[in-house]
Structure 1
Amino acid sequence: MERRMIAPCFMDDTLECLRRQGVEAAPLLAEAGLPPVITGPIPAERYGAFWHAVARTMDDEFFGEGARPMRAGSFALLCQAILSTATLEHALRRALRFLRIVLDDPHGTLVVEEGLAQIVLKDAGGPRSAFAYRTFWIIVHGVNCWLIGRRLPIRWVDFRCSAPPAGTDYRLFFGAPVRFDQPETRLVFDAEFLNLPTIRDERALKEFLRHAPGNILVRYRHDMGLSAAIRKRLGGLAPQAWPGFEELAGRMRIPAPSLRRRLKLEGQTYREIKDDLRRALAMEALAEGHANVTQLAADLGFSEPSAFYRAFRKWTGKSPAVFRRSAGAAVA
């Protein structure tokens, strides 16, 4: 079985957080079986052990980044609180209420409009660290992905704070456009996913908690698994040159039925992967001021500009022109 690894930037973020909080990292690293200096990826289970050691030492599963400490055991209680929900929307709203009671700030609200679900984070004071916001997303998005048994494709993520040194990894992790220095911190996905049913039970929860949080860092992140391999393969080609599904399976030397089944286990289809990539490319180009929408549609592999207009409106709830103007205003 492939060993799942955590990128070293996660450790860099965590160690920097401990320095800010005045916590000595060396004994906690040793307790988790980690070297005093991290120079490469580490096994997910080791990072999970380190996470638990830090949370126990600080009695805070949010590493001192909230207005109030998230006392040890809160994560398990959060999972218990949402286990009885029927849909993702029900679970998400309950999780956000729970975290507001526990943390006070930052706290999130769910806004649903124009076909999009937006988790908007609020702070009483100035911007928090990118690490704090990403930790919030890991908890909320990761747990809810586990609850419904699939990865939820993210449209885009905004951070109120400035980009950290590892900002590039943030983009890889979320698998979506990431913008820093924005008016609000938000994570956006398609509202249709809010109707998905929850599928976990008490037995599954016990197994999940045994391996948390390392399991949600690797199981539902964008750049892991077979779908990530396909994204990487397509990313090296112009969209017009992307192969059909049968041809892709042949190139990957995987029988087409097996490839389809394995993608389903990751909560993905080949069409969704291509749409995610096209959407990200389109949003990036428009945010940078790309003016020729007809040429952009052709570059993305659409046979007609009208097909691109329909797809883009479905993706974002806006026309390309409106999105370009709003993105420009946000940057300004």
Structure 2
Amino acid sequence: MISAARHSASIEGLAGFPVGAIVHAPVSRNIAERASPTPPRLGAVAEERAHATGLDGKAVRQLLQGAVLAGRDPLAILRDAAIDPSVYDQGQGAIDGRQLVRLIRQIQSSLNDVYLGFLPRGCGLALESERLMSFLRCTTFGEALRVSIRFTNAMSDDVGPGIFEQHGSGVQHICTYHTIPGVDGDMMVWIRFVWIYQFFSWLIGRPLRLRGLAVTAPRPVQENGFDRFALFGCPVEFNAPVNALSYDGNDLTARLVHSTITEYEEYYASEPDWFDVPGRGPSWRQRTQQALIEFQHAGFWSVPIELVAARLRTRARRLRHDLALEGESFQDMKTRLRGELATAYLLASDMPITQIGLILGFSEPGSFSRHFCAWAGMAPSTFRSEYIADAARVALATTMLLERRAS
């Protein structure tokens, strides 16, 4: 732990913690999600570090639920995929994009089911090859998408895709999965969206320019800070009425650059990194977050967007616009980072709560306690007593505090 004696208070205005989680929506925030605060996470530091952590043990367990219900040994599947089984049985560590591909292939092979045992009837690998061949013969992405949807609808009642025009600007690809009891349907939606995005990006030889995603689930939060939806590079609406991908109209006419099942099998066997998007530089969210961390490290808690925009060589209005396109808000990001640092001080130091509030820029103890309670759903003292024995949380908090504590 870090001693209280090593810090002096730095007061820089007040900025409250909002109730609830940050919702990545293209236009407006979902009221239902804001009404229920989600537990604070400790690991959302610079995006590069979050990216390196990958999909956590909880998500890995969810991906294996269908296999477990079918009587398969999840640890054996992980070993066969060259993944440390401790990510499952101890919930430690995480898997990267290449390991994810190996895991999915191994589950599919073990069950002879493309849908990982999540659906009542599933889809055998031979039938999936027939489905792929039906649209690999197409000329454009738009044609392949429509043929794929027709084939899928004809082959199973458990999957219900549909496509709808969006006022000439693109199309919305709605996906419905009738999963069996005992599996996480939200995980099914995510992994199928990952496959759809990565497969069609490979098919046209470049990343799809998605206009947005809609998912009926709330935003998933991992303690290691990894954002599993970041790979899509588009706004995401959580708690939406449907699960859907929205494609750019210009992509519909993109010509296919691959046309055989052999090419696809070689691509899949090459273990592509499904968390990597070549050619995409740091997002405005990443750049803004890093700038805010640097300002907060220096003790500036109420830095205006104009100052951050100047550091990023853009204008405040433009920065707000670019962040909104990525489903982010400047004020929410600033407050979230401040709240994360508060949790780090609570778990990785022995400082009195009053002093932590002063370090984080609150002029009076009551202000810090009220705003922390609104953000985390509990008082600072309750948070400290509840999680101080959690070794994983304390380790993350210690790392964060070493990197980000106010100077």
**TM class, shorter-chain normalised?**
0.5 to 0.7
Q: Distance in 2 between matches of 1:214 and 1:22?
A: 28
Q: Check conservation: 1:87, 1:195, Cα contact below 8 A.
A: yes
User: Given residue 78 of structure 2, which amino acid in structure 1 is its aligned partner?
Assistant: L
Mapped to 1, the partners of 2:69 and 2:233 lie a distance apart of: 28
Amino acid paired to 1:82: F
- Between 1:149-158 and 1:68-77, the stretch displaced more is 68-77
2:123 aligns to what? 70
Displacement of 1:198 after TM fit? 1.2
CA distance in structure 2 between the aligned counterparts of 1:11 and 1:104, rounded to whole angstroms? 27
1:181 corresponds to: 239
In the TM superposition, residue 92 of structure 1 has moved relative to its aligned partner by 0.6
Equivalent AA in structure 1 for residue 234 of structure 2: A
Matched ranges for 1:53-132 at <5 A: 53-114=106-167, 115-122=169-176, 129-132=185-188
- What are the Cα deviations for residues 44-77 of structure 1, in whole angstroms up to 9, with x where unaligned? 5554343233212212111122342111234433
In the alignment, is the contact (CA less than 8 A) between 1:111 and 1:118 conserved in 2? yes
Deviations 1:200-224 (A, max 9, x none): 133xx52431341775652xx5x54
Cα distance in 1 for partners of 2:136, 2:178 equals 30
Cα distance in 2, alignment partners of residues 24 and 125 from structure 1? 21
* Structure 2, unaligned runs of 5 or more: 1-50, 292-307, 333-407
1:190 aligns with 2:272: no
Matched, 1:171 2:225: no
DSSP-derived class of the 1:122 partner: coil
Inter-partner Cα distance in structure 2 for 1:117 and 1:5? 33
Corresponding residue for residue 72 of structure 2: 23
Distance 2:130 2:194 in 1: 16
1:8 corresponds to which residue?
55
CA deviation after TM superposition for structure 1 residue 194, in Å: 0.7
Relative to 1, partners in 2 of residues 1:141 and 1:44: Cα closer, same or farther, differing over 3 Å?
Answer: closer
Match of 1:280 in 2: 325
SS of corresponding position for 1:193 = helix
Look up the match of 2:360: none
- TM-superposition CA deviations, 1:91-149 (whole Å, max 9, x none): 01111222223442232111112213111123568996111112222232222111111
Contact 1:118 1:187 in 2 (8 A): yes
Q: CA deviation at 1:183?
A: 1.4
Question: What does residue 84 of structure 2 align with?
Answer: 35
Q: TM-score normalized by structure 1?
A: 0.62
In structure 1, the residue corresponding to 2:125 is in which secondary structure?
coil
Q: Provide structure 1 residue ranges, at least 5 long, that are not aligned to the other structure.
A: 245-273, 289-332
Match of residue 158, structure 1, among 210, 214, 230: 214
Tell me the TM-score normalized by structure 2: 0.51
RCO higher in structure (CA 8 A, sep ≥6): 2
Aligned twin of 1:147? 203
The total of aligned residue pairs comes to 249
Residues 134 and 148 of structure 2 are in contact (CA less than 8 Å); yes or no, is this contact kept in structure 1? yes
Match of 1:141, as an amino acid?
Y
DSSP 3-state at the match of 1:131 = helix
Q: 1:41 to 1:62 in 2, by over 3 A?
A: same
**By how many angstroms is 1:160 displaced?**
2.1
Tell me which residue corresponds to 2:394.
none
What is the distance in 2 between the residues matched to 1:143 and 1:276?
30
Residue 73 of structure 1 aligns to a residue whose secondary structure is: helix
3-state SS of 1:150 partner:
coil
Contact in 2 for aligned 1:143/1:216 (Cα 8 Å) = no
1:201 match? 259
**3-state SS of paired residue (1:181):** coil
AA of the residue aligned to 2:112: D
Greater share of residues in helix = 1
1:192 deviates by: 2.1
How far residue 193 of structure 1 moved from its aligned partner, in angstroms, is 1.3
Specify the SS of the correspondent of 2:199.
helix
1:86 maps to a residue whose letter is T
Identical counterparts, % of pairs:
18
Counterpart AA for 2:118:
E
1:50 is matched with which residue? 103
Determine the C-alpha separation between the residues in 2 that align with 1:5 and 1:227: 16
- Deviation of 1:168 after TM superposition, in Å, equals 6.0
2:266 is matched with which residue? Answer: 210
Query: Aligned-pair RMSD on alpha carbons?
Result: 3.7
